[in-house]
Amino acid sequence: MKPQVIFQSLGLMDYQEAWDYQEKLFKGTIDLKIRARNGEDVGPTKNYLLFVEHPHVYTLGKSGDASHLLLNNSELSEHHAQFYKINRGGDITYHGPGQLVGYPIFDLDHFFPDIHKYMRLLEESVIQTLKEYGVESGRVEGLTGVWIDGDKPTARKICAMGVKSSRWVTMHGIGFNINSDLSYFSHIVPCGIQDKAVTSLQQELGRKIDMQEVSEILKVKMAEQFGFEYVNE
């Protein structure tokens, strides 16, 4: 039987609100696993996939360098952007309108207890989504995320990744640049990488992209890569 995933589209949501919601699902799942391990009959845990867009926001992972944010507090206000230090891995990144953010809250005991494989399948889901638009992409050795021309001086990142896991439960996820305002990336050292550019699907194709269309394709590709099926809550 395939693992089951509950999909929720959250629309445009404040970063803190979405983070709090993730934490609620994440901690609830971990609590169930602890109770089950202690012998309680609590039933199976649930898996969630959240898609969302955020207003302009910069987030710094727990291993990140705060100097990679190039704006002070007043400049953040001028750009109508917020800043959060958060509990995922990775360095600094940007989220904003036109970027499709995916947050899988998966209990990997339903899939496989392997974070490396989990990250690679997230990347592959995006790579296969980009293929639907005729855009070839891939990985860069030693770096996470999805890249175009990754092995060339013109390498540019189209999807960033940063996750947290505990007891094989995941949270945080991917930021996939669709119609993103790329000027906001000029105010950070993206993911701590100084020598590579950032791009979007809109920039690669030279036209605005239907976000809902990308969302539907990515949903299908994720189900294919991870071998799950979508169910209603």
Active site residues: 191
Q: What percent of the chain is helix, strand and coil (3-state, nearest 5)?
A: 35, 30, 35
Q: How far apart are the first and last CA of the chain?
A: 18
Burial of 39 (0-12, 13-18, 19+ CB in 10 A): exposed
Instruction: Choose among 198, 174, 88: nearest CA to 123.
Output: 174
Q: How far apart are CA 225 and CA 138, in angstroms?
A: 15
Q: Which residues contact 61 (CB under 8 A, 6 or more apart)?
A: 86, 88, 89, 90, 91, 92, 93, 162
Q: How far apart are CA 186 and CA 172, in angstroms?
A: 23
Q: In Å, how far from its chain's centre is CA 51?
A: 9
Phi, psi of 103 (to 5 degrees): -120, 100
Residues contacting residue 90 through CB under 8 Å, at least 6 positions apart: 61, 63, 64, 144, 160, 161, 162, 191
How far apart (Å, rounded) are the C-alpha atoms in residues 85 and 207? 33
